Structure 1
Amino acid sequence: MNGSNKKIEQIANNITTFVLSVIIVVVAVGFWNYSSQTFKQDCFTAVATMLSKTLDFVAHPFAKKDSGQEHTVISQSAQENWEGDSATTDNTGSKSKSTRVLHKESTEPDQAEKAKLASMPAPPFASPSLPKKEKVVRHGKPVQFVRKTVSHVPVYETIIDLHDPETFISIGLANNAFLANDKDMTHGDEGFDSLVKKSHASVVMNGTFFSKDDQKRVMGNMVSGGRFLKYSPWENYGTTFGLTRNNRPVMMTARAGELPNWSEHWFSLTCGPRLLKDGEVWIYPEKEGFADSHVLGVGPRCALGFNPTGDKLILCTFMNGLSLSEEARLMKELGCSEAMNLDGGASRSLAHNGSIVVPAGRPLTNVLLVYDSKNRAPQSLINSWETFQQIER
């Protein structure tokens, strides 16, 4: 009978234990579900710490603990600051030290310890790191090259950040000529593929007009790297786009009472006709001196412009034949407030990162070159830019 009672009592205890366990689990789960995320994170951290200490103890069960006192080390200047902050002033104006005293115990190693430390190799992370070169922060891409359709007209658009320190714009002459229209330093025209290959530029496109005769005379004035590549009284015709100090863009039309101050131009290109002025369509080709039907009619077009804030230069190569008014409307739609027409027709050409996108229909005498951080400008161009910025005007 006693055995039966004990068995019944054991079963009852087991049932009670099970019920209590279930209740505890249910309460714990409910508490966990309604607890804050911070509490849960603290629990995980505590468990991780206990596991780490347990594993450390298992790995080093006989490691000795430092039974010595922890030493507080302060510098002489820190101690003086501490004492100065703790000082009080009596009625006579003299300072008296507070009774609060910070005791310091020397931790300077003896000679034997110094010798031992000196013989030990320093860990790699103990070596002083080299000073980091200051990085130039850029917003977006300095040179964006996209193909899009604007008002049903396909166009290749190059958007240039004029504030980017590694973006440079220059002019390349055919056959590495030093000057244009010079009998000794000008060497005719050159195939577009050859001009692209030797430039190593991010973007290469056709520039200003030139004659079709054997002399291949460049029509518009050109400044690149702060020096004239070509100058003539042609400044009384057409429209001039220029980049002045700090890459500030300007656009002037001579016969509209706007004459460029060439000494202020780091880069300059005279072409035309003008398309936009102060955000509005402005087309007076005859007034600028244009009479060629190829310029005044409908044909392959290229254009150059900049936005109202003057921080974006926009180069466009249109794939449909356009009139000047259609070209002006599209440049305005692309965000330009000032714009002018470039050489087009058979001269229309474009390359990006060394690949020809739009082949030229004839050899060229001059091209526009755009350099960026990936396709770096020649050092001579960079040096001339830096010198130009330092000259007071």
Structure 2
Amino acid sequence: MIRSMRFLPLSLCCLLTVSGACQTIPGTSADSLRLLNRPAAIQFRRGLEWQSVRLDTLFGSPQNINILRLRPGKWRLAFGSAGDSLRTTSRLGREKQATAALNGTFFSFKGGSVDHIKIDGYVLDTTRYTPGKKLEEHRQAAIVLTKRGKAAIVFGGADNPRWASERPEPNVMVTGPLLLKGNKRAPLQPNAFNDNRHPRTCFCLTNDRHVLLITADGRHKNAAGFSLPELTTVLRWLGCRDAINLDGGGSTTLWLSGQPDNGVVNYPSDSKQWIHTGERPVSNVLLVHPR
């Protein structure tokens, strides 16, 4: 069923800096209007809405974005893991009998996460770090879930390598960088990972108490992908209060049960073709289940 609704942005012509001050960004108003005029959401399931957005230009380049919006009262989140092996997001979604699955945090091609992940109280992997050095940006924050799948984004910082293992929640997935916290943009270090355009996967909690699972395709003439500052701007337009980056690049995958092309609704980049079947095996995923 097609619903005549759109996800409302916080602002059309300005965004918050780290200090919270509003400033006009050249081109931001036109780009936000392009995003506002995207197709209406499909009610994929009751309380679960899906948008597939193709834009000829956003920040001066073509983009392809998928947005899954869920109402926590109807749906719960969980983490799924391939253990010491790697499996595609679609396979993990089917094996865990989920309604939807999103690729998770960073991992080794030999298998296993390189960042702390705990599922139902059991620690599968711990953060790999160099003693005496601060934690990297993607190891400073996490998605945490209660037993009932209620989600929060937490920030542990760069100085305590054990902060994630000290979290009391039964489900913890370290990832990052952190993008938004309390409607404020998190500071991002200037580096190629943050500043170059890539396929991106992210997770956000909105001001109206919904959850968004988002993919942005890239590395193709049909979709450039985003830098993390660009992605953060888009998330603010979508009404996100707290948001965090997940593993992207060739890992970026959104799977929806029952959809064509094995359920993969975005265009994973590893195949270097504009097809749905180029999934990269991953270590872990975020899962959506009915309550």
Name the TM-score, length of structure 1 as normaliser: 0.48
Give aligned-pair identity as a percent. Answer: 23
Please say if 1:189 is aligned against 2:189.
Answer: no
**Alignment partners' CA distance in 1, 2:151 and 2:197:** 28
Q: CA distance change for structure 1 residues 220 and 285 in 2, over 3 Å: closer, same or farther? A: farther
Aligned to 1:242: 144
Q: CA distance change for structure 1 residues 149 and 278 in 2, over 3 Å: closer, same or farther? A: farther
Q: Which amino acid in structure 2 is aligned with residue 161 of structure 1?
A: R
State the 1:218 CA deviation.
1.0
Work out which of the residue numbers 228, 242, 267 in structure 2 matches 1:338: 242
State the 1:263 CA deviation.
5.1
8 Å contact 2:255–2:265 — kept in the other structure? yes
Aligned to 1:369: 287
Aligned to 1:300: 199
Q: Which amino acid in structure 2 is aligned with residue 147 of structure 1?
A: S
Work out which of the residue numbers 334, 337, 356 in structure 1 matches 2:264: 356
**Alignment partners' CA distance in 2, 1:295 and 1:217:** 24
Work out which of the residue numbers 209, 221, 225 in structure 1 matches 2:116: 221
Q: CA distance change for structure 1 residues 246 and 211 in 2, over 3 Å: closer, same or farther? A: closer
8 Å contact 2:147–2:170 — kept in the other structure? yes
Work out which of the residue numbers 173, 180, 186 in structure 2 matches 1:276: 180
State the 1:142 CA deviation.
2.8
**Alignment partners' CA distance in 1, 2:203 and 2:257:** 20
3-state secondary structure, aligned to 2:233? helix
Work out which of the residue numbers 163, 169, 180 in structure 1 matches 2:77: 169
3-state secondary structure, aligned to 1:194? helix
Instruction: From the CA coordinates, give the structure whose radius of gyration is larger.
Output: 1
Aligned to 1:147: 52
Aligned to 2:10: none
**Alignment partners' CA distance in 1, 2:233 and 2:99:** 27
Name the TM-score, length of structure 2 as normaliser: 0.63
State the 1:273 CA deviation.
0.8
Per-residue deviation, residues 312-356 of structure 1 (Å, max 9, x unmatched): 111101133100000000111111111111111010111111422
8 Å contact 1:143–1:372 — kept in the other structure? no
8 Å contact 2:89–2:255 — kept in the other structure? no
Q: Which amino acid in structure 1 is aligned with residue 202 of structure 2?
A: A
Q: CA distance change for structure 1 residues 221 and 348 in 2, over 3 Å: closer, same or farther? A: same
Work out which of the residue numbers 181, 198, 205 in structure 1 matches 2:95: 198
Q: CA distance change for structure 1 residues 256 and 280 in 2, over 3 Å: closer, same or farther? A: farther
Per-residue deviation, residues 263-310 of structure 1 (Å, max 9, x unmatched): 531432111111112202213247xxxx6x44552100111110235x
Per-residue deviation, residues 186-225 of structure 1 (Å, max 9, x unmatched): 2x2124443343232111111001123xx33412222223
Q: CA distance change for structure 1 residues 149 and 357 in 2, over 3 Å: closer, same or farther? A: closer
8 Å contact 2:51–2:67 — kept in the other structure? yes
3-state secondary structure, aligned to 1:195? helix
**Alignment partners' CA distance in 1, 2:227 and 2:250:** 16
Per-residue deviation, residues 117-157 of structure 1 (Å, max 9, x unmatched): xxxxxxxxxxxxxxxxxxxxxxx933222223588443211
Aligned to 2:156: 254
**Alignment partners' CA distance in 1, 2:197 and 2:141:** 20
Q: CA distance change for structure 1 residues 260 and 307 in 2, over 3 Å: closer, same or farther? A: farther
State the 1:240 CA deviation.
0.9
3-state secondary structure, aligned to 1:325? helix
Q: CA distance change for structure 1 residues 154 and 233 in 2, over 3 Å: closer, same or farther? A: closer
Q: Which runs of 5+ in 2 are unaligned?
A: 1-44, 218-222, 267-275
* Larger helix fraction of residues: 1
Kindly report which structure 2 residues correspond to 1:315-330, keeping only aligned pairs within 5 A, or say none.
Answer: 315-319=213-217, 320=223, 321-330=225-234
Q: Which runs of 5+ in 1 are unaligned?
A: 1-139, 178-185, 374-393
